[in-house]
Amino acid sequence: MSEEERQALIGMIRGFLRETDAVAVLTGAGVSAESGIPTFRDAQTGLWAKYDPMELATPQAFARDPALASRWYDERRRKSADCEPNPGHLALVRLQGEFEAAEKRFTLITQNVDRLHQRAGSRDPLELHGTFWVWRCTSCGEEREERTVPLPEYPPRCHCGGTRRPGVVWFGEALPEAVLTKAWRAAEGCGLFMSLGTSSVVEPAASLCRIAADAGAKTVEINPQETPLSSWVDVSVRGTTGELLPTISSAWE
């Protein structure tokens, strides 16, 4: 794709944004990777090189060795705390502000658990996979935001004496029903759906774009690589969100 062709596609996306009354945006690991946060499936280093992350992110792994699983998530929290929101995050904040000022609907849906969107200034993102900044007691169910880095012990303990676990959705667990319902409704009710920095292979998030398309929405993908969405969305642009979103978010200038 030539630069001229890419700029034409960017122009189409800006036109979609100006024309719609409701946009739903789904963000994936690629958006956080631009801030220096390794994607979940990136090669592990150091102490964690011998572990498969797919085997650490399960209820069974936590039950087998809660200290090990807690320490791994705490390491991810530490890396996240050292990173800052990137231009892609900030451009989404700007888009949300423009839509809300015009009394139009803007829904941000994220698969990321690092809360960089909130640190950038995004309001009320739907966290499909939860967050490792909230830890939940496996005994009494109390949830509490945990800002201490590193954690004082592994695994951390609740005031009731129970073990606390990261408030993320592990493999084999259902997504939070209320959050998923809101994401589904946003996809069904939007005029434009944007899939940003996600591989589009993890369900049920990967189905949201198709739900929007089936309901008549325009669909857009921004990703450095091709994904299963690339061949059928209305616009698919190769590139990073940090590079492209600042330009796209200037649609009102």
- State the catalytic residues: 129
- DSSP per-residue letters across 152-216: SSSS-B-TTSPBEEEEEPPTTSPPPHHHHHHHHHHHHH-SEEEEES--S-STTGGGHHHHHHHTT
**154 and 70 in contact (C-beta within 8 Å)?**
yes
Asked if omega into 125 is within 30° of 0 (cis), the reply is no
Phi then psi for residue 34, to 5 deg, are: -70, -15
The strand pair at 235-238 and 143-145 is best described as unpaired
Please state at what angle helix 241-248 crosses helix 87-101, rounded to 10 degrees: 30
CA separation for the pair 182, 148 (Å, rounded): 30
**SS3 track for 136-148:** EECCCCCEEECCC
Q: Which strands make up the sheet holding 235-238, listed edge to edge?
A: 126-127, 105-110, 22-27, 192-196, 218-223, 235-238
Tell which phi-psi region holds residue 9, choosing left (phi > 0), alpha (psi between -120 and 50) or beta: alpha
